Structure 1
Amino acid sequence: MTWIPQDVSSICGQNSTSLPACSPAYLAFVSFIVQYFGKSNDNYVARSDPKGPEEYDFIVVGAGSAGCVLANRLSEITGWKVLLLEAGPQEPLVADVPSFGTFLRSSNIDWAYRTQPEKKSCRSKRGRSCGWARGKVMGGSSSINYLMYIRGHPRDYDDWAVDNPGWSYREVLPYFKKSENNRSPEIVRGSPGYHGTKGELTVEWFPYTDPNSEILIRAWKEIGYGKIDANGNRHVGYLRYQTTSKDGQRQSTNAAFIRPIANDRSNLVIRTQAYVTKVLIDRRTKKATGVEYVLTNSSDTSPKRALAKKEVIVSAGAINSPKLLLLSGIGPTEDLRELGIDAIQDLPVGRNLHDHPRMDGLTIKLSEKTRILASLDQMKNDSLEYLKTQRNALSAMGVLSAGCFVKTDLERIPDYPDIQFTFDGTNVKDHVAMAEEAEGLAALPLAYYDGINISPVLIGPRSRGYLKLNGTDATWGAPLLHPNYFGDDHDLRTIVAGIREARKLFGTRAFKENGYTLLAEPLPSCRQHRFDSDGYWRCVIIEYTNTIYHFVGTCKMGPRSDPSAVVDRYLRVHGVGSLRVVDASIMPKITRGNTNAPTIMIAEKISDDIKHYYHRHCPGARGKLCFFGS
């Protein structure tokens, strides 16, 4: 397997140097990355292509943040045979390098989805739509994300538990700790009882500290914010983000949960580039019996079938899990009939779609002494040094290490943030082009930049959208994504309030002493407004919408009495036996923070639920384990 970067030819067009990713230096550096970082560290035992129907105890569809955890935990039971199917390839070495995150989007390990045009968002982006990155690779989106380990607020889970007993923060905390191997003693000691140190997933600070991230933290402190561990008992304040990294390298769920055990467990079968097209459901019993899939890297593209003696578990993410259910006849009956799909179970699959939107355009222009740039030769040398040491600037993500959680005046609940600030290094010269089309066009690793985008992220959105199947090609085409960003005006007003809080930073000594200035060049689509007015920022939010790719909710968890629910509290699909959905799509309401850690927790919890269920229902167990040879 070789990593294939984004093909920028369709974007660059005639103006070959008008965008950063169209420059000769960028193209040369990407070629260098392919040469030195394009291969994979994965070394799974080769399995022959199936010639007939296969039979397993469990089939897990999707090897992402949840699927890798499930495959690991279920295959701990030696008598259970587990099949893990992933549509993408093995995880390439380029994904290990934290600072190379800019190059992963729109490459061959990204589904590279885009939203449908809407009136209140993404209006000045390419095609009047926003790019939605999703990992199409072992590890899923944990292999292409920006590594932040944030659980969200305890209240988020307590709210889930109102309708879903068992999901309160007190009850899910042990599952966060179970996975976690936190290697930062200051964090563990400072938040006793909140962190684990013996799990598979390493959580730590990057070994390299970007100097501008320290300046940003000083500025937040100046305007009155205190230091927090966002995964502890205080949630409003500044922090240095902990990340899913180990010794300067990404810790995807593939690296943490699959790579160490893949060749040691004969009961775990892994198939990459296996595109699942349907869950097989017995129409008489309404029970899932297996899946149908196509091996896209094989000369034989005929559909294969795998049968499940116990369960099919769909863990394909908040976009592809509902897509697969819809293709299998589970969803709104009228929508299915329009596409000629036989409806098996009428459920609101694809509804309740929501996300953490943000915006670009509030930009710090750095001084000569604070900007961090590099020539092509220096970037190459730094990359070769990283291969040897994993300790230089490429082992971190630039200013993304600094962050702050803020509660604006629009949020009434104490210590309950509604804005999360992230900081992205950027190229000031190309700030307009980057605002119009950021996805896949960053020409530099995250370690190098001469400007900083201050990104207020809306973490308590009220707006809800939906997704539907593509009527042109439902099976292979991208689903139609309607996020309905800012459908509720409260969301717009909250981001503007966040901007006003961030503007205070420019009055701090930390900013002034280091020559940080506001880039006061209005973005083209908003020049009719006075720069820095509320009207200007509302315009920027709508025209230059962005996201940190936290899509959730499309297979909502809730009781049968909830007309908006798709799965129950054990994540079993309502009305369909032997079928669960286990990933971020089940979240009734998004957590107030990054969603990778909660998704891993969800998989840990349901893995235990599954084990306990089959223990209780094992004939003749009489209180003893009967895990078929375990």
Structure 2
Amino acid sequence: MRAPALEAKQSTRHHWEESTGGRKVAVDVFDYVIVGAGAAGSVLANRLSEDLGVTVCVLEAGPPDRNPYIHIPAGFIKTLFDPGVTWQFKTEPGPNTGGRAIATTQGRTLGGGSSINGLIYNRGQPGDFNNWAQRGNRGWGYDDVLPYFRRSEGRIGFGGEARGREGNIPVTDMDWFNPVSEAFIKGVMGLGIPRNPDYNSGHQEGVGYYQRVIRNGRRISAARGYLHPAMKRPNLEVRTNARAEAVLLEGRRAVGVRYIQRRGGEGRVVRARREVILSSGTANTARLLQVSGIGPAALLQRIGVPVLHELPGVGENFRDHYASRFVMRARPGVETLNELSKGLRLGGQILRWAARRPSILATCVSHVHVFWKSFEGLDQPDLQCVFTPGSYAEGKVYVLDDYPGVTAGAWQHRPESSGWVRARSADVFEDPEIQPNYLTHPDDQRVHLAGMRLLRRFLNTPELAPFLETETLPGKDVQTDDELLDFARRNGSTTYHLVGTSRMGPRTDPTAVVSDELLVHGLEGLRVADASIMPHITSSNTYATTLMIAEKAADLIRGRSLAAAA
């Protein structure tokens, strides 16, 4: 006798041949088809497959997450530049980036961005989500989403009722410390900014060490926390190196996805009895909708795609955090990451990491946070500042310089400048056009300037003076507003926090793409669940919020409400 779960899987899946575009393609049928096995897709795969009476197929464009650098926290420096596990996207040059194209790398492997990111866990402010609800998105206020933050999190360490203890993603405190970081914190406190032991409690303001998604010295990505455990179930199938070419529509209903495993290769189709769910990330979800004939009519006509469902907001409302970084040289004898990452010292750190002892290999990209206000009188912080006891090379994000030093960066929480993501053609092997329009809004310039001036104050406190020597970037000659803005335009960079291209909002909002149930407006059986649905960018890194979105999406799909039961 077959096991009940296995029998359920076989009874809900079929295989036949069907003609698509003049070609015969293999077709499989599942209840749910998820496009993308990143942070959101991993959560959805796990939650939906908990019901052994349904079948789930996940299509991931990248390979399995076997690259060893994925699992070593400091390995993100390697994977960030590895086209084998990333989409090496770049922005379009713009007047506010000095005519530069900026790398906006995204994860392309199981776990997606959670397998290559800087490992920081940051939820944002309650007001971020209350603002979403005020925009007409029912069920997305802070009290509504807090249970989903808690469900995804396995907090190890200090934390009150707002924190989750049993979730799939462990969140731990820093365990490797550098005297320069502690001096930085004390210096910031000397300026009147309080120390905050838990910025994820619902009260963000203050300075302290970041919390991170590391356990026993290893990265715990969404793939490790959610997807791999679920892959043991017989009703879940994950197909890697499967690049989605189009969402298939029959009338107004999404019925499946066509995908391909190599350029020019044979196409395949997976059909969905219940729903197709797009979790490909802010850039790829928008592009996939557009090449499927769902989006702004003028764009679709320009790239030669038939307009199957006009939806002007697809690809618009794109936002990202834009950061400027200052670097200071350390005094002789001061030990920073620059020295510890070389020669015998690095060998010692590797041995410590292998023994699961505190090591630079098991730290997140930034060590210290400061959440503060650009101007007095604000109710909540509108700036995020970061500090690392290591100096990065000019123009090379996260590449340590030859000399010892420190780096501090700042970005605006909620920029008003917005841009777009647009397919260049119907070919999904061609990178999309990404234009963030950084610093185009006057308010963004004003806040960014305030952030840079705060960095200077933070780096020139009496507490840091014994450790630091001189500012090397941008340099003390850069002083006026015009000079600082020019530096920001020529040297600033993405924080990889891409959101907004499938904006959630009521049908009356002409820019909205999905409803507050994440269903694509005007279509049936098609849902989006990833960072692209954010109506506005959060006051945070985006990973924690993406986990929350997917947890809530799973309940919406299953007709449940964790918030109501909490």
Q: Normalising by structure 1, what TM-score?
A: 0.81
Seen in structure 2, the aligned counterparts of structure 1 residues 390 and 272 have a Cα distance that, compared at 3 Å, is farther
SS in 1 for 2:45: helix
Seen in structure 2, the aligned counterparts of structure 1 residues 521 and 555 have a Cα distance that, compared at 3 Å, is closer
Query: Per-residue displacement from partner, 1:463-505 (whole Å, max 9, x unpaired)?
Result: 010121114x632110001110011021111111112222222
Alignment of 1:271-282 (within 5 A): 271-282=239-250
Query: Per-residue displacement from partner, 1:307-334 (whole Å, max 9, x unpaired)?
Result: 0000000000000000000010000011
Report the equivalent of 1:619.
none
Alignment of 1:261-276 (within 5 A): 261-263=230-232, 265-276=233-244
Distance 2:63 2:472 in 1: 43
Distance 2:363 2:267 in 1: 42
Distance 1:449 1:424 in 2: 14
2:35 is aligned, of 54, 61, 64, to 61
Seen in structure 2, the aligned counterparts of structure 1 residues 278 and 384 have a Cα distance that, compared at 3 Å, is farther
Alignment of 1:569-580 (within 5 A): 569-580=516-527
Return the offset for 1:381.
5.0
2:420 is aligned, of 446, 451, 466, to 466
SS in 2 for 1:305: strand
2:408 matched to 1:454?
A: yes
Question: In the alignment, residue 422 of structure 1 is paired with which amino acid?
Answer: V
Alignment of 1:147-546 (within 5 A): 147-162=119-134, 163-184=136-157, 186=158, 188=159, 192-228=160-196, 229-263=198-232, 265-282=233-250, 285-296=251-262, 301-347=265-311, 348-360=313-325, 362-372=326-336, 373-374=339-340, 375-389=342-356, 391-397=358-364, 400-409=366-375, 412-414=377-379, 416-424=380-388, 426-427=390-391, 434-438=393-397, 442=399, 450-471=404-425, 474-514=427-467, 516-520=468-472, 522=474, 530-546=477-493
Distance 1:572 1:518 in 2: 54
Report the equivalent of 2:4.
none
Question: In the alignment, residue 475 of structure 1 is paired with which amino acid?
Answer: V
Q: Residues 405 and 419 of structure 1 are in contact (CA less than 8 Å); yes or no, is this contact kept in structure 2?
A: yes
Distance 2:474 2:181 in 1: 25
Percentage of identical aligned residues: 32
Q: Residues 373 and 381 of structure 2 are in contact (CA less than 8 Å); yes or no, is this contact kept in structure 1?
A: yes
Q: Residues 573 and 579 of structure 1 are in contact (CA less than 8 Å); yes or no, is this contact kept in structure 2?
A: yes
Return the offset for 1:460.
1.4
Distance 2:344 2:288 in 1: 46
SS in 2 for 1:204: strand
Return the offset for 1:522.
4.7
Distance 2:344 2:330 in 1: 23
Q: Residues 72 and 361 of structure 2 are in contact (CA less than 8 Å); yes or no, is this contact kept in structure 1?
A: yes
1:134 is aligned, of 96, 102, 106, to 106
Q: Higher mean Cα deviation, 55-64 or 192-201? A: 192-201
Distance 2:388 2:277 in 1: 36
Report the equivalent of 1:568.
515
Return the offset for 1:292.
0.6
Query: Per-residue displacement from partner, 1:244-267 (whole Å, max 9, x unpaired)?
Result: 11122111100110122312x000
Return the offset for 1:534.
2.1
Query: Per-residue displacement from partner, 1:546-601 (whole Å, max 9, x unpaired)?
Result: 12110100000001100010000010001111000100000000000111000000
Seen in structure 2, the aligned counterparts of structure 1 residues 421 and 521 have a Cα distance that, compared at 3 Å, is closer
Q: Residues 246 and 288 of structure 2 are in contact (CA less than 8 Å); yes or no, is this contact kept in structure 1?
A: yes
Q: Residues 254 and 525 of structure 2 are in contact (CA less than 8 Å); yes or no, is this contact kept in structure 1?
A: yes
2:66 matched to 1:94?
A: no
1:110 is aligned, of 86, 96, 100, to 86
SS in 1 for 2:294: coil
2:550 is aligned, of 582, 596, 603, to 603
Distance 1:290 1:217 in 2: 52
2:494 matched to 1:547?
A: yes
- Where in structure 2 are there 5+ consecutive unaligned residues? 1-14, 17-24, 562-566
Equivalent pairs, count: 531
Query: Per-residue displacement from partner, 1:500-553 (whole Å, max 9, x unpaired)?
Result: 222222442211132x13324657xxxxx9422222211111111212110100
SS in 2 for 1:436: coil
Distance 2:202 2:400 in 1: 39
Distance 1:588 1:53 in 2: 35
Report the equivalent of 1:72.
46
Seen in structure 2, the aligned counterparts of structure 1 residues 390 and 281 have a Cα distance that, compared at 3 Å, is farther
Question: In the alignment, residue 231 of structure 1 is paired with which amino acid?
Answer: N
Seen in structure 2, the aligned counterparts of structure 1 residues 521 and 390 have a Cα distance that, compared at 3 Å, is closer
Q: Residues 194 and 207 of structure 2 are in contact (CA less than 8 Å); yes or no, is this contact kept in structure 1?
A: yes
Moved over 6 A (4+): none
Return the offset for 1:438.
2.8
